[in-house]
A and B are shown apart, each in its own frame.
Chain A
């Protein structure tokens, strides 16, 4: 019996692991979202970086960009920085801290939960943030990178 169950349990764990990995990666796959007032345009990864590191401050219609993020140790935040900005969380933190504590700029507003993020982006014109999936909200749309 043992010789039969062992490989089976091996498969079982392998499958469970794959499902788990799939589930976790899905759970934390970040999507950039904006308020529906944000102008449609071809945005690049460079644009997204410049926006989230607080260097690019205005949309093409001259409205000031309002940036919202989650806490540094939030898994979705880490995933967002790595996969959407192709940066490391410590690089982004360095940029924010340098501006915040030298008076040369300001950091994004930090929110606690995805629920708060939905509320903020839906109710703040010209805002940008990220979520694990785009909510069904007419004031929020996905921010596609080209």
Chain B
């Protein structure tokens, strides 16, 4: 068997380790790693390097070519006025968002492929740091035709939703630090990340464009603490969430090699909540055993020119929050959309402007219902303007900065802002992010 590993990987990893080591030695890595842990992190990275590259230096042909190893590492810094994101960002700078992923792709036979990705993520008070299997799957090509193919996947699968959900944690694959939050909520990310189950997929290429269809069914994660306030109207609930089997479907159409992209995505998600005895909402109404069902429908469009990229997505979401049925409601429709324009000033320097809006209940855009439930009105909406700059230093190193002017707190993480009455309706967010990939 030929032994080969793509030599760029070794070079980039080596450069990466050198930089991490240097940063660690000089500064304790800016608070990202405690000084005492620098040595061990360096040791881990060096260990990884040694494992992957025994006697590498001269010849980098190490792994069989059927194996592909890729990964990324992202560190974000945030400062806000008023509310907190990714830790204590108000009146300070929070280094609160760290994402590290490593994936392996293995193709033992022509039609069978295995792929898995491990993800470490630390996100302010929402997630103090955890490792999870992001995806782990077997992919079998059932049918391959001159103009297309069809197949099945099984295992833990990423959920196809909109333009970005499948790679939402990979900084390089989207233009700004924060994805449009009205659609790609960080709060409900555990529901949307990946699901354990199976999928059918089909691709068909024609002279008039390429069609791509995915149908996924599976069980999303049960870790729904971050959406307690939204679905239960309290952040103190300690009962148990249980997700039910979910469906996700996506049909996309790409013209001229992705110059124009159109997609429709639909999800059907549901979960039960079993309260502990005596639990109540903010305003003292007892919680009951209830089911919440969410069905978002998302339309996406993108134009990718040489220098200009224009993107728009429109989200229409049916909600049925069982816990609110006792108030004589619980059924409502959430509406969110954004438009975004990016311009490549240089091939490696991209400027982006975006306007994003969300109304949790499209028939109550001012938040009167939220007030009745014991919240400030501004939890019911958010409008934000985003201005961002992205610089791709090399194909594997990227830095970007952005400013957001936000009106409303609909997507503000609850764990970082435990008391909704201490949040501000109008606030600013500044972000800086470094990312590496191989």
Binding site for B on A (CB under 8 A): 46, 49-50, 53, 55-58, 60, 62, 64, 66, 71-73, 85-91, 94-95, 97-98, 100-104, 106-107, 109-110, 112
| Interchain residue pairs with CB less than 8 A apart (11) | A57-B144, A62-B110, A88-B304, A90-B344, A90-B347, A97-B167, A97-B172, A97-B173, A100-B68, A101-B103, A104-B153
Using a CB-CB cutoff of 8 Å, which residues 84-118 of chain B contact chain A? 101, 103, 105, 107, 110, 113, 115-117
Contact of A71 among B8, B117, B158 (CB under 8 A): B8
Contact of A55 among B117, B166, B203 (CB under 8 A): B203
Contact of A98 among B7, B157, B167 (CB under 8 A): B167
> Which residues of chain B are near A56, meaning CB under 8 Å?
205
Let me know if B105 and A73 touch, CB within 8 A.
Answer: no
Known pairs A55-B210, A73-B395, A110-B8; A101 contacts B113 (CB<8 A): no
Tell me the dominant secondary structure on chain A's binding face.
loop
Let me know if A87 and B257 touch, CB within 8 A.
Answer: yes
Q: How far is the CA of A133 from the CA of B158 in the complex (A)?
A: 41
> Which residues of chain B are near A91, meaning CB under 8 Å?
257-259, 304
Task: Give the shortest distance, in Å, between B62 (CB) and chain A (any CB).
Answer: 13
Let me know if B257 and A49 touch, CB within 8 A.
Answer: yes
Q: How far is the CA of A55 from the CA of B149 in the complex (A)?
A: 9
Chain A: which residue is nearest B167 at the CB level? Answer: A101
Contact of B257 among A85, A101, A103 (CB under 8 A): A85
Let me know if A86 and B257 touch, CB within 8 A.
Answer: yes
Known pairs A50-B205, A55-B205; A101 contacts B170 (CB<8 A): yes
Let me know if A103 and B173 touch, CB within 8 A.
Answer: no
Q: How far is the CA of A101 from the CA of B8 in the complex (A)?
A: 17
Let me know if B258 and A95 touch, CB within 8 A.
Answer: yes
Chain B: which residue is nearest A89 at the CB level? Answer: B347
> Which residues of chain B are near A71, meaning CB under 8 Å?
8, 395
Using a CB-CB cutoff of 8 Å, which residues 324-379 of chain B contact chain A? 344, 347
Chain B: which residue is nearest A106 at the CB level? Answer: B105
Is residue B314 contacting chain A, with contact meaning CB distance below 8 A? no
> Which residues of chain A are near B115, meaning CB under 8 Å?
103, 106
Let me know if A90 and B70 touch, CB within 8 A.
Answer: no
Q: How far is the CA of A112 from the CA of B11 in the complex (A)?
A: 11
Using a CB-CB cutoff of 8 Å, which residues 130-170 of chain B contact chain A? 135-137, 139, 141, 144, 146, 149, 153, 157-158, 166-167, 170
Q: How far is the CA of A91 from the CA of B184 in the complex (A)?
A: 22
Other than the given A55-B210, A85-B257, A103-B105, 4 more pairs (CB < 8 A) read A55-B149, A57-B144, A103-B117, A109-B68
> Which residues of chain B are near A85, meaning CB under 8 Å?
257
> Which residues of chain B are near A89, meaning CB under 8 Å?
347
Let me know if B258 and A104 touch, CB within 8 A.
Answer: no
Task: Give the shortest distance, in Å, between B164 (CB) and chain A (any CB).
Answer: 9
> Which residues of chain B are near A102, meaning CB under 8 Å?
135, 158, 166-167
Chain B: which residue is nearest A91 at the CB level? Answer: B258
Chain B: which residue is nearest A82 at the CB level? Answer: B306
Q: How far is the CA of A64 from the CA of B166 in the complex (A)?
A: 26
Contact of A58 among B70, B110, B166, B306 (CB under 8 A): B110
Known pairs A91-B259, A106-B113, A109-B65; A100 contacts B172 (CB<8 A): no
Task: Give the shortest distance, in Å, between A40 (CB) and chain B (any CB).
Answer: 15
